[in-house]
Structure 1
């Protein structure tokens, strides 16, 4: 199999994709790694800095081909309840990545957060779905800790 170097990341495809790679949330945060595409290609991603790749984005290969990024299904917690904004605030206060949808929130499985949410009135159930949480409010992608 041919290994192709990916050196650039673009938020939107400009032409037809030649392949796709499915990555979970943690797997979409990378700098240098060999990935296997859905058609069996090995692609060495070699980005200048650690980058958060988004579902729907692309990697541009040296030869100009584009490989689409797809959010892979992963084990999550679905959070619902009568006061969803309040529940979202508590999740955000713990700097937990959160996918916000009409009527529900999705977070990574964490027994401590699950217990906390249950104590404040949330209904929590395990699901397996693609995870595409909100990015940073200042255009920096993922947020970690209190520095922005």
Structure 2
């Protein structure tokens, strides 16, 4: 089977529509969510080719296949993350500036900033006395580096 488009996202579907189907999952590392062409295997051993027509990143919950009885979706393997919890806007601005200078991609959920684990960033956070925890956590989308040059 070759998948050329994402049909839906399970998080946007009606719960009853989801529950009436057998669900298979394709587990991907978050870094692989940016690949438009790849060969994957479901948790039931079914091989699938992904060749997306549109230049779009995959997201956790994306539905690759669905019929009346079955559904195949993307799930993401947990990443080793630093979950940064700034106490105020000034602290958020300071750490965002420091991490931005390192071109480190970040994601935001609720009132926390998520970055992939890096021992240098961990040391920086400790030196700056900024609250954080290191944990395994699933992200819904890939950490994306934004192209930039210092002209």
Provide the TM-score with structure 1 as the length reference. Answer: 0.70
Residue 12 in structure 1 maps to residue 2 in structure 2: no
Answer with 1 or 2: which has the greater Rg: 2
| Corresponding pairs, count | 135
Note the residue ranges of structure 2 that are not aligned, 5 or more in a row.
none
Structure number with the higher helix fraction is 2
Classify the secondary structure of the residue corresponding to 2:120: helix
Greater Cα shift, 31-40 or 117-126: 117-126
Give 1:46's aligned residue: 51
**Structure 1 residues 90 and 60: CA distance shift in structure 2, 3 A:** farther
RMSD of aligned residue pairs (Cα, Å): 3.0
Taking the aligned partners of 1:100 and 1:133, their CA distance within structure 2 comes to 11
Flag the 1:78–1:134 CA change in 2: closer, same or farther, 3 A. Answer: same
For structure 1, list consecutive stretches of 5 or more residues without a partner in the other structure.
136-141
Q: Which residue of 2 aligns with 1:114?
A: 122
Residue in structure 2 matched with residue 73 of structure 1 by the alignment:
78
Larger RCO (CA within 8 A; separation ≥ 6): 2
d(CA) in 1 for partners of 2:42, 2:25 = 5
| Structure 2 CA distance for aligned equivalents of residues 59 and 48 of structure 1 | 13
